Amino acid sequence: MLSRTTTPGSAVPSRRTFLVAGAGAALALGLATPARAQARPQEKSPFGRYGSPSARLTERTLYVHHGGLGDHTTVQAAVSAASGAGHTLVVASGTYRETVAVGVDRTEMTWIGASGDPRDVVVVYDHANGTPKPGGGTYGTTGSATTTVQADGFTARSITFANDFLRADHPEITGTQAVAVKVQGDRSAFVGCRFLGHQDTLYADSIALGTFARQYYRDCYVEGDVDFVFGRATAVFERCHFRTLNRTDLATAPYGFVFAPSTALANPRGYLVTHGRVSSEAPDAYYKLARPWVPGSDTTAQPMLTVRDTRLAAGIDAVAPYTNMADAYPWQSQRFAEYRNTGPGAVVSVPENRPQLSHGEAESATREAYLGDWTPWKGC
């Protein structure tokens, strides 16, 4: 992207706390759990109810354990070993500091956090757009992703995807986009997952401009500051919690933007946020709800975002919740709309600044309409 300045329903310490906490403090917060050499007393294995290498759920189930009690000690090693379609990776509690790529041929893959708590299984790295590559050049926004998923039919449950790059630690880097996960495949589902970062945390995209990738996020937690949910996918965010972070490097508002969709003009469905909430660590009205991203690679894009039945905290600027990324593409010309939102950040004081769906229009702004013949919520 161009250079730009827990569990759902419970209080969630931010990734910033996670980064500055010492090992003991991190354990107390439940944010970083080291790999265990032995199983918990109440469990037969570190993989809980999901079996073990000696008692596989299926022949296509692989087990990941940082301490060596599984088939593989890294997530990427398990992905590489899972050739073909339909593999399941059961990941034991631990912090896996690595980058992971799920190529287009690894279709219908599922990752499961063994404990059922996403705080226990963390896949994290710290590349940013401007981080120098060993062979020269920099990683760029796409290359900064800790995890990249290109395959269709990917599902993740109870996993934390994180990028712990911090601007303050790298004043020499100006390209501070740092992606936790880039998702490009069709029929990609994330249930009970966390996405932690600052700028460009969750890249909900597609594999190519003419491909309309459908994605479903349910009961997930996402945090960041600048455009931290962005891309051109058709994505439904149901019962998700978005949290805007405080910033000490800026003196005035806005601190950032929650959404930056880049929906292709030909795509009738962009981002849908439904029955969720947006909270904030920042002062009141210091965040915009969204701004449109029209990338240089697709100057005909018409970004689309609908936020409905969602609580917006006071951190969102209620008077002017939308702004431009580039004046050549004003937000008023894009497909932004709201419906029945609540909270201090949803108060409509200047109607022209807050386009609202009619009741009739809202009938087509549903997960069913967005996802079509794909029904991932039935298995959640």
Residues classed as catalytic: 200, 227
CB 346 within 8 A of CB 319: no
Question: Minimal CA–CA distance to 258: which of 200, 344, 324, 214?
Answer: 200
CA 109 – CA 101 distance, rounded (Å): 12
Q: Around Cβ 133, how many Cβ atoms within 10 Å?
A: 11
Q: Please list the residues that pair with 295 across neighbouring strands.
A: none
Strand-strand pairing, 94-97 and 110-113 = unpaired
CA 77 – CA 58 distance, rounded (Å): 19
Question: Minimal CA–CA distance to 154: which of 208, 232, 79?
Answer: 79
Q: Is 104 helix (H, G, I), strand (E, B) or coil?
A: coil
CA 371 – CA 187 distance, rounded (Å): 9
